[in-house]
């Protein structure tokens, strides 16, 4: 992990550090374009072929039904069952609190406006597999979808080597009342949900994180289907001062690094001593991790920055716009107003990012690669549409009529004006 001094960095150097350029984007785009075209042309056949080529599995069918999911779910260890149920209740509680009715507003006498929520009818949920199968992501996506009232929920997740899914995902499906998991991963899963195949229904919006291929596929199908956000390789930025615990900071950095070799972990600190002690702790803790080779490569692509003070650290963080931001300081309350760009924030030395990943209740599907400057993380709202309503009484028509007529005339749209005028004359 390289160490930089913030005051020595030019504006262009900071922009380069925040760029997240890890792999050849053009090559990925070419490959994903081919995958999408093939799925559109060949449907289910393409999905079977891609499973054989990418997942090394000869699938007999592209999904697991309710009975198969129940059988697989029955093998879950009791402690994992309890943990999933507790996490689900916390996630459900937090996301249910986001359902709020909006008041009607009288913008002028007799003119009433308001908004009402309607669920997106068909949604697609992508639950990553690859080097790790993530039941937590299943909970994070399906729970708000169910709370919102989505009628059709299509779930895709890569198959395991046995051509099935694991007991944790299966138990999530049973717990949530979802009766089918499609055994499809990668860009091909995104294409299948965007365009539909003989087996996979077409959806109206796609949710879920993934690698660069999944993220690229999501951005490419946006002319056909909505997406939650660009959610690619994971990242965390930790701001630490002299009150931080280096072993805690190292653990937080490694927790994110073990996601994948293209994950990025950033340490921003006011103390060179904290940086050095954290790097020593990373070396110490890395050696005992089962996924140490993956985490080590992610750490190699990462860096630490020494800053003069915490507000300076926040300046860099806002430019980086991290998916996860950890404030490893006793002074976190004073930093909260300075946060402009971040996906999810973890306050103080006793709040690890993994709490939010699994069970605190907040959603862990978050914008990456700097998109936290413009996107929010997944919420119940993400599964809803807001429809506006307006109603004019006779008094309202008289109050607003001349205003609309004048504006329509200014824009040269006579029919717009006439729609008001004919009603005003009828009122007479």
Tell me, what's the pLDDT at 67?
98
Residue in the block written with tokens 């750490």 = 299
Tell me, what's the pLDDT at 131?
60
Q: Is the pLDDT of residue 212 over 90?
A: no
Q: Are 236 and 354 in contact (CB under 8 A)?
A: no
| Alpha-helix residue ranges (DSSP H) falling in 301-364 | 310-320, 332-335, 353-358
CA–CA distance, 15 with 319 (Å, rounded to integer): 8
Would you mind telling me the total number of residues written for the chain in this entry? 428
Instruction: Residue 182: name the closest of 295, 62, 57 by CA.
Output: 62
Q: Are 36 and 191 in contact (CB under 8 A)?
A: yes
Q: Is 427 a catalytic residue?
A: no
Residues 6+ apart with CB under 8 A from 222: none
Task: Name all contacts of 348-356 with Cβ < 8 Å and 24+ positions apart.
Answer: 349/243, 349/244, 349/245, 349/248, 351/326, 352/248, 352/251, 352/252, 352/255, 352/326, 353/236, 353/252, 353/255, 353/256, 353/324, 353/326, 354/252, 354/255, 356/324
Q: Is the pLDDT of residue 23 over 60?
A: no
Q: Are 192 and 184 in contact (CB under 8 A)?
A: yes
Same fold yes or no, 2-22+233-361 and 25-101+120-229? yes
* CATH class of the structural domain 393-427: mainly alpha
- Quick one: residue 361, left, alpha or beta (phi over 0 = left, psi -120 to 50 = alpha)? left
Instruction: Residue 44: name the closest of 232, 200, 209 by CA.
Output: 200
Tell me, what's the pLDDT at 426?
87
Q: Locate the domains of the chain by residue range.
A: 2-22+233-361, 25-101+120-229, 393-427
Q: Are 337 and 343 in contact (CB under 8 A)?
A: no
Q: Is the pLDDT of residue 230 over 90?
A: no
Tell me, what's the pLDDT at 231?
75
Per-residue pLDDT of 283-318, as tens digits, reads: 999 999 999 999 999 999 899 999 999 999 999 999
Instruction: Residue 233: name the closest of 185, 317, 301 by CA.
Output: 301
Q: Are 312 and 288 in contact (CB under 8 A)?
A: no
Tell me, what's the pLDDT at 130?
63
Average pLDDT, the chain: 95
Catalytic residue among 95, 182, 259, 324: 324
Backbone angles phi, psi at 298, to 5 degrees: -65, -40
Q: pLDDT-based confidence at 194, cuts 50/70/90?
A: very high
Instruction: Retrieve residue 35's tokens.
Output: 């995958």
Q: pLDDT-based confidence at 224, cuts 50/70/90?
A: very high
The stretch 57-84 carries a mean pLDDT of 97
Q: Is 416 a catalytic residue?
A: no
The stretch 327-340 carries a mean pLDDT of 98
Residue range 25-101+120-229 in CATH 3.60.21.10: no
Residue in the block written with tokens 């949530």 = 176
CA–CA distance, 194 with 204 (Å, rounded to integer): 8
Tell me, what's the pLDDT at 22?
55
Q: pLDDT-based confidence at 129, cuts 50/70/90?
A: confident
The stretch 239-245 carries a mean pLDDT of 98
CA–CA distance, 361 with 24 (Å, rounded to integer): 36
Tell me, what's the pLDDT at 358?
96
Residues facing residue 264 across a β-bridge: 235
**pTM, entire model:** 0.92
Q: Is the pLDDT of residue 385 over 90?
A: yes
Instruction: Retrieve residue 366's tokens.
Output: 């978050």
Maximum separation of any 2 CA atoms in the chain, in Å: 85
Overall fold of domain 2-22+233-361: Rossmann fold (3.40.50)
Per-residue pLDDT of 133-187, as tens digits, reads: 789 999 999 999 999 999 999 999 999 999 999 999 999 999 999 999 999 999 9
**Percentage above 70 pLDDT, the chain:** 98
Instruction: Retrieve residue 303's tokens.
Output: 């860096």
Q: Find the Cα–Cα–Cα–Cα dihedral 296, 300, 301, 306, rounded to 10°.
A: 120
Residue in the block written with tokens 């081919």 = 34
CA–CA distance, 167 with 375 (Å, rounded to integer): 33
Catalytic residue among 182, 323, 353, 364: 323
């Amino acid at each position: 992990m390289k160490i930089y001094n913030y005051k020595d960095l030019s504006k262009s150097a900071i922009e380069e550090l925040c760029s997240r350029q890890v792999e050849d984007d053009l090559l990925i785009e070419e490959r994903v374009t081919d995958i999408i075209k093939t799925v559109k042309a060949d449907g289910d056949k393409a999905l079977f072929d891609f499973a054989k080529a990418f997942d090394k599995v000869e699938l007999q069918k592209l999904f697991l039904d309710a009975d198969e999911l129940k059988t697989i779910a029955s093998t879950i260890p009791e402690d994992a069952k309890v943990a999933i149920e507790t996490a689900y209740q916390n996630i459900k509680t937090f996301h249910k609190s986001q359902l709020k009715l909006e008041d009607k507003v009288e913008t002028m006498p007799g003119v009433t406006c308001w908004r009402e929520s309607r669920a997106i009818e068909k949604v697609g949920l992508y639950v990553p597999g690859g080097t790790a199968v993530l039941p937590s992501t299943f909970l994070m996506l399906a729970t708000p979808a169910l709370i919102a009232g989505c009628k059709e929920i299509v779930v895709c997740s890569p198959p395991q080597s046995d051509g099935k899914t694991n007991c944790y995902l299966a138990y999530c499906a049973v717990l949530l009342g979802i009766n089918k998991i499609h055994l499809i991963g990668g860009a091909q899963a995104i294409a299948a949900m965007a365009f539909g195949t003989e087996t996979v229904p077409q959806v109206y919006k796609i949710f879920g994180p993934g690698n660069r291929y999944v993220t690229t596929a999501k951005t490419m199908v946006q002319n056909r289907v909505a997406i939650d956000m660009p959610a690619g390789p994971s990242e965390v930025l930790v701001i630490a001062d002299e009150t931080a615990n280096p072993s805690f900071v190292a653990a937080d950095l490694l927790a994110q690094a073990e996601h994948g070799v293209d994950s990025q972990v950033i340490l921003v600190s006011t103390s060179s001593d904290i940086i050095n002690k954290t790097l020593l702790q990373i070396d110490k803790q890395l050696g005992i991790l089962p996924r140490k080779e993956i985490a080590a490569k992610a750490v190699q692509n990462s860096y630490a920055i020494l800053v003069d003070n915490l507000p300076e650290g926040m300046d860099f963080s806002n430019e980086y716009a991290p998916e996860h931001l950890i404030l490893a300081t006793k002074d976190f309350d004073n930093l909260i107003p300075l946060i402009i760009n971040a996906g999810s924030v973890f306050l103080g030395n006793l709040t690890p990012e993994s709490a939010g990943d699994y069970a605190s209740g907040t959603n862990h599907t978050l914008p990456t690669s700097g998109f936290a400057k413009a996107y929010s993380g997944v919420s119940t709202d993400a599964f809803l549409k807001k429809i506006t309503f307006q109603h004019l009484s006779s008094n309202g028509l008289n109050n607003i009529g001349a205003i609309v007529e004048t504006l329509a005339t200014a824009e040269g749209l006579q029919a717009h004006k006439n729609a008001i005028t004919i009603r005003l004359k009828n009122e007479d």
